[in-house]
A and B are shown apart, each in its own frame.
Chain A
Amino acid sequence: MLSDWEGSSTARVVPPARPRKLAKVPFVELADGRLQGVVSSGSDAGRVYVSSVAAGDYAFACSTNNNRPCGGARGSFCNHIGALITEAVLQYGGVRVARYLRVETAAVEPAAHDIATAMRATGPAKGDSKAAAQVFSRFLRHLAYLELAATTAPLPEMQWFPPTRAVA
């Protein structure tokens, strides 16, 4: 016998993202075994930083979209990575972010600083920034969704994707 959840066509698997302000960190995702995203530069509106932290060993990387290394991310997490963690917790909830990164904290509902502190305490190494191009192209793909046309032809498969009031 299947449980109700296993036997449900509309079982909720991923809680919906929570709304947040996007100006500082326009893109965050838990993907490819990393917390990764794009952080706006504080000084130059045309520049963004591509930042990431790997799950498990917390290897971090931060560089501009033109592949210049971030000056702040030499020995440990820079402010961009800090902002990335904060916004990820807003978007996905602390529990999901901590579980994905495999961070153990004492908190039941870990806050961004709990997660960041726990990761910093392990003295993570600087990772390679090879992933930056890939993360940036995922951000562009994310933005491209706004350019796609709406349609009034029905999408019957969307019956499988109901909204949920449960929060992340």
Chain B
Amino acid sequence: MRTDLLAEPVAGLDEALAAVTAFDGVLTGGLLRPRPEQGAALAEFADSVAGTPLAVRVCEAADKTAAAAGGEDHFAALAAARTALLGSAHDALLARLDEATGRTRSAAEAAVPGPPPAVNLLAAARSWLCDLARAGWQGIDHDLVADAAPVVTAMLPDPELRRLATLLDGFSAELAASCPGAALDRVPARRWADLWARAMILAQPGASAAPPPGTATGRLLPLGIDLHEHATAAQAQVHAVFDPADGSGARLVRASVSAPKPDTVVGAGVWQLLRPHMSLLAAVGEGRAMNIADMTLTAGGDLLWDDAKARTGEPADAFATARVALPTASAAAVHPLDRHPAAIAEPVFVEGYTAEETDRELVFAFAGLRLAVDTDRIPAAGPLGPETVAASRACIGLLRWDAGEFRLQPLAVETAVRNKPVAVHAGAWAGGAADKAAAKAEKAATDAVAVLRERAGKLLRK
């Protein structure tokens, strides 16, 4: 990998982000009664999309909003402009990444409409998001944030709305923990504006449009597991190289499983919730490939996992996959709505580095170049920790970009124990307890879920 390219400036990126920052500052103060400096920031923001098809609508939205006369359509136009700006930043960053990894990427295909939307629930979500934007982060209070709860509760059971529901649930929990906004000494301005704008876009009828999916038959060689979690949801994403049976070249794919959860189910308990729904997690834990037949594969490179279409294959070492199959695997086009720098998670393999610890972070140093390592993203419910990463000599990870720099999130590392390579995987506990520490965490999690299920059995069905 050409790590040197990751450190070089990306043309236009700073300008795009400056416009986004201007808008994010406006949301912090709220849109109810914008002050003159907020109006100026909105005008600066609208200028940044002046040369695009959004220009007229965004200019009008900025004017009306600055005059305290903004409505839902105006806020949606502003969210769209912010999404477009970050989409272009994403494209430039991903192009740089593909250049650094030498990866080829398929061209985007035309989208077709998704299933008919649940218009009433989407309207309720947009209405809450508009109230939120009017109040601003400094104006949030318990009553306003609590208004999200009925919308989330109504949406969660519907699989078509799970994506928006999970986003709103995580977002509103964070806001609730930060109330009242007037007492906040700092505001995560980029993050909350990201979550707000994404929710606003996902709540538009038509947001579910996507290119028609295909099917996949062949061998799946796992690279590692990436875990995501907020208080009431968890998702595990397996990154893998798919080797199609028809001999058309190897491709990078993901397989995901997610579940809503009570916020007291944490750590190893998260794996327990996810494990029964995707046999792939156990296969990764055992270091095995899987054979899949006619499994749905989206244009964005996501397998829609179905245990009935998969069976466990022969042992497959993730590091062998990373060394041999990953360099030639091609990547899928990113779905238009998923174009955002924070959604970049590209599997890479690096070796020949020296791990250097500073007081703030760990970096991998390559002949004069440095790559920051994001050890905080490694789940605590697993055997991989920052010390193991610091002692490693090869690493499979996800390259991400946030807050101005590329960082490597380790999924697995190779260390030397008595001169023999030993692999340690962040997701090693996904399939079940592998050692004493894992067994203890599993037991505690099983007990916690058992207590809740027992209580639910007594109280929920009365």
Binding site for B on A (CB under 8 A): 2-14, 16-23, 26-27, 30-33, 45-46, 48, 65, 91, 139-166
Contacts and interface: CB of A to CB of B under 8 A. Distances in A.
A150 B273 contact: yes
A150 B264 CA distance: 17
Given A14-B173, A32-B146, A157-B166, A7 B257 contact: no
Contact of B174 (A14, A32, A146): A14
Contacts of B173: 14
Contacts of B256: 152-155
A151 B458 contact: no
Given A9-B342, A9-B402, A152 B235 contact: no
Interface of B: 21, 142, 146, 149, 153, 156-157, 159, 162-163, 166-167, 170, 173-174, 176-178, 186-191, 194-195, 198, 202, 227-233, 235, 237, 254-264, 266-267, 269, 273-274, 276-278, 298, 302, 304-306, 335, 337-338, 340-343, 345, 375-380, 385-386, 402-404, 409, 444-445, 447-449, 451-453, 455-456, 458-460
In the complex, the 8 A-B pairs of residues with the closest C-beta atoms, listed nearest first: A9-B342, A158-B228, A150-B259, A152-B305, A8-B403, A143-B456, A154-B256, A11-B188
B174 A13 contact: yes
Given A7-B21, A7-B190, A26-B452, A152 B273 contact: no
Contacts of B258: 150-152, 154-155, 158
Contacts of A9: 190-191, 194, 340-342, 402-403
A33 B255 CA distance: 40
Nearest to A10: B402
Give the one of A13, A65, A145, A165 with max B CB within 10 A. Answer: A145
B237 A154 contact: yes
Contact of B278 (A11, A149, A152): A152
Contacts of A159: 228, 342-343, 345
Contacts of B263: 17, 142
Nearest to A87: B264
Given A16-B229, A158-B233, A7 B404 contact: yes
Contacts, number: 228
Given A32-B142, A147-B456, A2 B190 contact: yes
A8 B260 contact: no
Contacts of B385: 165
B376 A152 contact: no
Contacts of A10: 191, 342, 402
Contacts of A13: 174, 177-178, 188, 191
A163 B380 contact: yes
B278 to A, nearest CB: 6
A5 B451 contact: no
Nearest to A3: B186
A3 B186 CA distance: 10
